[in-house]
Amino acid sequence: MKAIIIVNGYPRAGKDTFIDYCESYFYQLPFRANFFFERHSTVDTVKDIAKKMGWNGEKTPEMRNMLSELKDLYTKYFNGPLNEIKDAMNYGLAIDVVLFTCMREPEEIRKTVQWAEENGIKWFTVLVVNPNKEENYHMSHSDAQVLEFNYSHVIMNDGDLGDLADKALTFSENVIKICNFK
């Protein structure tokens, strides 16, 4: 079985921490040689390109906009984000694959979900919300689109790290049950 988990949220909402907790739970499953867990972000390739162009890695509002615009070009001309996901999911036919990918743009989420459905791949969309980080909302046009999708799961990151870990555990158990990972 293969599963794509698309994670979104405003900057500093706790997306990576949520994925960290999910990953640690998946790796607590009994070892299986046919299981592959992958982390991916649809902006990673864009960040690599930006660094080659001279970007120093700092995420100021101006640089977040630059990354967002560069990603738009990567998507428009090369369909890069979806092609990267296709490559990750083709890891092996007999291998169970869980791909966590961070993706902002609603249209890219829709394209990925449609591709997953067409290929018999289970999918989940997750919005991580941290109401204490509102000052970072809408730093780029991609950030402004975060709520323009109807997510299958919403994770409220409104407690401490232990609360987020519990929510990640519950979510991971749900994925394992639905996907029949053992």
pLDDT digit string (tens) for 56-81? 999 888 888 899 899 999 999 998 88
CATH number at residue 11: 3.40.50.300
**Rounded to the nearest 5°, which phi and psi values hold at 102?**
-90, 130
Confidence of residue 94 (pLDDT cuts 50, 70, 90): low
Tokens describing residue 136: 């970072």
Q: How many domains does the chain have?
A: 1
Lowest mean pLDDT, pick from 42-56, 78-92, 99-113, 164-178: 78-92
Per-residue DSSP letters for 20-70? HHHHHHHTTSPP-TTEEEEEEETTHHHHHHHHHTT--S---HHHHHHHHHH
Note down the domain range covering 94: 2-179
What is the percentage of the chain residues whose pLDDT exceeds 70? 90
Bridge partners (DSSP) listed for residue 7: 102, 126
pLDDT of residue 132: 82
Residue with the bigger pLDDT between 139 and 169: it is 169
Global pTM?
Answer: 0.82
pLDDT of residue 124: 96
